[in-house]
Copies of this chain bind each other. A is one copy, B any other.
């Protein structure tokens, strides 16, 4: 990661307090890489930014249709949700339709980040369960695939047919044969890809048409589901939800742990992938907000765009103490 560049600066008063280095890849379907910063060929773990790839077997196998899944379900299958009632209620009902229940999950227990949901559990002297895990929608999709195909219950095993199907799709969309993998926060394998390969995959989602065959049709359904339900993909207060709402279905975007962000922009047939080298969420959010503005799908003066790309940063008294600045390497990117 030695060739990363500074993408985002954090200023406090007269001092440049922090910098976030990283890499950016912008890919136009049919053309290739049309813009890059840093090391676009570095192998990264896209983490949750790749959930729409991990959801391809769910749709392509016919499992989604067999269980009557709606765009809400598909949005949840691509989500890193907050564990709010709007998420866990839907996950519970979906599990019911499969004849399964919470212990069938393999994602682990996580406290919800949604404050009302968290506070209700605390006041009831209850803990969370696996439905509150931010990946429980993805895992319900995994279980749906297993139920439909008759594959076994240990769906996070790298040798499970589901993971083999994801790996096959991965190779196709990212051009990464036999990808390496690591274990994600939710215990599922997370496949590695060059950053440019992730952007290539997102451009394929952007350019996909319903008539383009099974894979493209699945891509369209997943992309549209994300844009239709920004609140199910993340939750109140989160960048994915706020920025997708601000864009009015002009792009599907998704964050991933450790500073990853992707964008799918259908009108332009463009996919974007970026990685902040240090893993900072605030750096990835500032960079994607800027890039969406540069690509014309987000008004740079929209309050949400300003909030993520500029700030201000405020302290416990609400006093403005600093701001973000898009660094020259990113603001000067030619597209």
Contacts and interface: CB of A to CB of B under 8 A. Distances in A.
Interface residues of A, number: 48
Nearest to A277: B19
A316 B111 CA distance: 10
A278 interface: yes
A183 to B, nearest CB: 5
A258 B318 CA distance: 19
A192 B14 CA distance: 9
Contacts of A10: 258, 279
A333 interface: no
B14 A182 contact: yes
A1 B14 contact: no
A186 interface: yes
A19 B278 CA distance: 5
Contacts of A180: 13-15
B182 A15 contact: yes
Contacts of A107: 316-317
Contact of A15 (B21, B44, B110): B44
A181 B16 CA distance: 12
Nearest to A1: B19
Contact of A184 (B14, B106, B181, B321): B321
Interface of A: 1, 6, 10, 12-21, 43-45, 106-110, 119, 122-123, 133, 180-187, 192, 258-259, 277-280, 283, 315-319, 321-322
13 contacts: A12-B183, A13-B181, A15-B180, A15-B192, A17-B258, A17-B279, A18-B277, A108-B317, A182-B321, A183-B315, A183-B321, A187-B315, A187-B316
Given A185-B315, A187-B315, 13 more contacts: A1-B16, A1-B19, A12-B182, A13-B181, A13-B182, A14-B180, A17-B182, A18-B258, A18-B277, A109-B316, A183-B321, A185-B321, A187-B317
